[in-house]
Structure 1
Amino acid sequence: MSGFIEGVNRDQTTLFPERLEDWVGEDNPVRVVDLFVDELDLSALGFHRHAAARTGRPGYHPAVLLKLFIYGYLNRIPSSRRLEREAGRNVEAMWLTGRLVPDHKTIADFRGENGPAIRRTCAEFVELCRRIGVLKGDCLAVDGSKFKAVNNRDRNFTKAKIASRLAHLEQEVGRYLEEAERADRQETGEARTEKIAHLTSRYHRVRLEMDRMVTLRRELATTPDGQISLTDPDARAMATRAQHSGHVGYNVQSVVDAETHLIVVHEVTNQGHDRDQLASMAGAAKTALRRDDLHILVDKGYFSDGEILACHEQGITATVPRPDTSGSRVHGRYVKADFAYDPDKDIYRCPAGEVLSYRSTVEQQGLQMRRYWTTACPGCPLRNRCTTNTLRRISRWECEHLVEAADARRRDASAPMRIRRSTVEHPFGTIKAWMGHTHFLTRRLANVRTEMALNVLAYNIKRMVSLIGIRGRMAAIPG
């Protein structure tokens, strides 16, 4: 006796089950994937069914490849080459595909050619969750997160980066010329020839790089956002929360249900900020949930007067903190929040007790702004703490009551901002943990959107399974 658990002798005859069905338990998640895809109308969703060539073999049914991809993202296997290997050796994948083993190019082409249909499949699962009553959407949270693209930071250029690079290259050119001149004076014979040849070669390489930078600078002048990415043209440099850091990637927006943590809708953009995303994301969530009203929580990065108004017009209640963008408080001066507004009298009252009356209306950035001031400022003892100008003028947007209400809701006893953090940041953390310390596998915005849709679909399936179990999920899918 060796004292250890011993395995079976490799030469011993083993009677494996004759059916793949016997290898897949009733509570295996692949059964959910299989039933969900079988119940989809793939043609209506827009999946392409390739006809066989005149002399070629028939193509794979879209359901087979879709099942394989969903299985892959559920199990952190997004690579088409790895999926090809799993299809030939993994019992669950064999059961799911009927022991078909598509090659990696066929698998990758399916993802690239059926992007819109895959994204609609992700939305179809959300609709299924809504129909069976699991997803109600009483309170939602919105947030964005930056995901890395294939593009490295060194292959993303802005005007400032090109100018810095050119300045560095010009210094190198000057240094090589000085070294060549010094070698010409001090070296002799073969050593001098080799050194001059080496410096000349490096000089020409630097000149070629300078020419490339000049060409990029010329191309940069025609780009609308002042950036060029060479590996993935749609990727953009984006700042992150860490100071003086960032990466080239995409901004992924998601709307998450506060009760179930299911992702209701999502979108991938290459905008580095969230200011213009609130109304569109909230509107998409309202449509997906088929609700007449909606309450949505966001952080101050989404604050925008126009977006809050757009939400109000759609019947959406947005809770948005108002950021303090004024630098006056830092310098010890009063800010707008220190002036109390009286809606009944349409006046502001300043910290000194003076009344600021309505004087005129002006247009600023497309918004109608009402202006208030008082003529008592020159003789006010608090004037130095209030303004550096002769008069302190207060501007008020005609729909500012919506902004004030959106900001006031965050102070509610239910602590909505804490709900937002614990709701919307959970799915992002989970998906990034699945992806690991890496980037999107595909390039271009359309393909990245497809890749993200598969991640979201896998997350929602796994989340739903954890909420109601495999058997409950199977029973909920109409069949």
Structure 2
Amino acid sequence: MMGHQVEVAQLFYEFSLERHVPSGHLLRRIDRALDLSWLRAELAPFYSSTGRPSIDPELMIRMLLVGTCYGIRSERRLCDEVHLNLGYRWFCRLGLDGAVPDHSTFSKARHGRFREAEVFRRVFERVVGSCMSAGLVGGEGFAVDASVIKADASYAQRVEGPTLPPERSDPDRARRPVREYLAALDAASAQAGETTVVDGQPERLATEPAPAKALSLTDPTAAWTSKGSLKVSFAYAVNTLVDLRRAIVVDVEATPARWSEEVASTPVMIERTRRRFGLTPSRLAADSAYGSGQLVGWLMGRGIEPHVPLLDRERQTKGMLTWAEFSFDRSRDLYVCPAGHEMTTTGHVVPGGLKQYRAKPTSCGPCALKPRCTTGLARMVTRNVHEDEREHVRQLAGTPAFKKSACERRKVEMLFAHLKRNLGFRRLRLRGPTGAGDEFLLAATAQNLRRLARSLVASAPTCGPAPA
């Protein structure tokens, strides 16, 4: 006989959220690992002492972490889910009757107090500190890599060339992402002439990126790129620095999806990790995109072994004599070609940290090797100012430690796979470098919390049912 359920109205219910959240639930495990008791004290200077009470900042952070952990990308949908889901309510300390804030509250807080106080950066660093206390961070070996995330910028809303139209370049009328882009241009032009000295040679602080082929009218900082699996579109790169012991993210940086910007972010993250946590690795693992002479020299100057395949194009000579066939005389700072002619330098270092050595046209003209050497008047070769460090890396390439680092750096790629597949980070919601940075910091915080929660459960004694 077919059953039929009849709703029976009751006047009183005895219900406890605490009993309805399983002891092994992800949010219960994360709650044990998350400590936000410091948050209100640090945010207090950014709130007025009078007026109507605001939405609790801890509630907003907990809701954003729920959305990040479960791939809820829309804050409007996040508010609906927290309103309906008992586990989300328990984690956010809302009880059964607590009111869920309006979705617009997050935008106001993010662009105001949260950004002024760098809340997402502080939450991330507190979680990293908890991972260090739990023994998940070794500090001996780091790995770095970048992954491309599509920006919230339309393919159609773009202008060709590296310059915004005049009506979009007025900071007084421009939107926040455009203002951030214009401010970055001003800062870059102010530092354009600055140089530093490395091994007695002047060197630029950073490699100048090539002029942009196209700019987005809504988010001009995003790079017009076809990197990764993307078709041509605007995108940012999430640059991630990972400790190799348990794949804990120790720093993250948002940059336009350009190779030069990604490589330049590595020293920034390493220095920030040293200042904030006192961690300086003895080795850094990365792929060949990070094998530039400038980065290798910077790492070795700080006692960090670069376990990085070199970015070397010495064999790309279209059938001509390669750079390796020229011998270098260190005492006289010159090259000697295979025919015995000397090649001298002016000492000028071109962008990229390269010194040029040229032969005399009178030497190359009658030389029998000229058809195999050059099609110009005289042959030129370049030498990186960090060539000694590069030679050291070449000697490291076959060692067991180098091969081990090559395997371990795959942990960064697994984090990227989890970021895109499980957390839904295939396209950004927020615009501008600060918006991208906020999203990347929240994602890294969620990934670290999951690993921290798993380690705390593994080290804790077997638990019974959830407390009443």
**Normalised TM-score (structure 2):** 0.74
Cα deviation per residue 1:57-86 (whole Å; 9 max; x = unaligned)?
x33322222112112211112322122112
RMSD: 4.0
Q: Which residue is 2:200 aligned to?
A: none
Contact 1:35 1:474 in 2 (8 A): no
- 2:245 aligns with one of 259, 266, 272: 259
Displacement of 1:35 after TM fit?
4.1
Q: Which residue is 1:34 aligned to?
A: 31
Three-state SS of the structure 2 residue aligned to 1:255 is strand
Change in 2 beyond 3 A, CA 1:46/1:357:
farther
Q: Which residue is 1:301 aligned to?
A: 289
Q: Does 1:424 align with 2:419?
A: no
Q: Which residue is 1:321 aligned to?
A: 309
Q: Does 1:445 align with 2:440?
A: no
Alpha-carbon distance between aligned partners in 1 of 2:452 and 2:271, rounded to the nearest angstrom: 24
Alpha-carbon distance between aligned partners in 1 of 2:455 and 2:342, rounded to the nearest angstrom: 57
- 1:404 aligns with one of 388, 391, 405: 391
Q: Does 1:395 align with 2:382?
A: yes
In structure 2, the gaps of 5 or more residues are 172-177, 186-210, 464-468
Displacement of 1:342 after TM fit?
7.0
Cα deviation per residue 1:242-293 (whole Å; 9 max; x = unaligned)?
59x3321212111122331221111001252224223223323444552354
In structure 1, the gaps of 5 or more residues are 163-212
Cα deviation per residue 1:372-400 (whole Å; 9 max; x = unaligned)?
76997556544322223455443334432
Q: Which residue is 1:335 aligned to?
A: 322
Alpha-carbon distance between aligned partners in 2 of 1:361 and 1:28, rounded to the nearest angstrom: 67
Change in 2 beyond 3 A, CA 1:88/1:215:
closer
Change in 2 beyond 3 A, CA 1:93/1:415:
same
Alpha-carbon distance between aligned partners in 2 of 1:385 and 1:473, rounded to the nearest angstrom: 73
User: Which stretch of structure 1 is more off in the superposition, 408-417 or 129-138?
Assistant: 408-417
Q: Which residue is 1:142 aligned to?
A: 144
Change in 2 beyond 3 A, CA 1:337/1:44:
farther
- 1:129 aligns with one of 128, 131, 134: 131
Q: Does 1:20 align with 2:17?
A: yes
Q: Does 1:94 align with 2:89?
A: yes
User: Which stretch of structure 1 is more off in the superposition, 264-273 or 460-469?
Assistant: 460-469
Alpha-carbon distance between aligned partners in 2 of 1:36 and 1:117, rounded to the nearest angstrom: 18
Contact 1:143 1:424 in 2 (8 A): yes
User: Looking at both structures, which has the greater relative contact order when contacts are Cα pairs under 8 Å and sequence separation is at least 6?
Assistant: 2
Alpha-carbon distance between aligned partners in 1 of 2:151 and 2:70, rounded to the nearest angstrom: 21
Q: Does 1:460 align with 2:439?
A: no
User: Which stretch of structure 1 is more off in the superposition, 261-270 or 272-281?
Assistant: 272-281
Contact 2:149 2:426 in 1 (8 A): no
Q: Which residue is 1:228 aligned to?
A: 215
Mapping of residues 21-420 of structure 1, within 5 Å: 21-43=18-40, 45-46=42-43, 50=47, 54=51, 56=52, 58-96=53-91, 97-99=93-95, 100=98, 101-113=100-112, 114-115=114-115, 116-159=118-161, 226=212, 227-241=214-228, 245-270=231-256, 272-273=258-259, 274-325=262-313, 328-329=316-317, 331-339=318-326, 341=328, 352=338, 359-365=344-350, 367=353, 369=355, 371=357, 381-389=368-376, 391-413=378-400, 414-415=402-403, 418-419=406-407
Contact 2:168 2:217 in 1 (8 A): no
Alpha-carbon distance between aligned partners in 1 of 2:300 and 2:221, rounded to the nearest angstrom: 32
Alpha-carbon distance between aligned partners in 1 of 2:328 and 2:279, rounded to the nearest angstrom: 34
Alpha-carbon distance between aligned partners in 2 of 1:11 and 1:452, rounded to the nearest angstrom: 47
- 1:11 aligns with one of 4, 7, 16: 7
Between the two proteins, what is the percent identity of the paired residues?
A: 22
Give the total of aligned pairs. 414
Change in 2 beyond 3 A, CA 1:241/1:19:
closer
User: Which stretch of structure 1 is more off in the superposition, 12-21 or 104-113?
Assistant: 12-21
Alpha-carbon distance between aligned partners in 2 of 1:110 and 1:217, rounded to the nearest angstrom: 27
Q: Partner letter of residue 215 of structure 2?
A: I
Alpha-carbon distance between aligned partners in 2 of 1:103 and 1:395, rounded to the nearest angstrom: 60
Contact 1:256 1:424 in 2 (8 A): yes
Alpha-carbon distance between aligned partners in 2 of 1:437 and 1:76, rounded to the nearest angstrom: 8
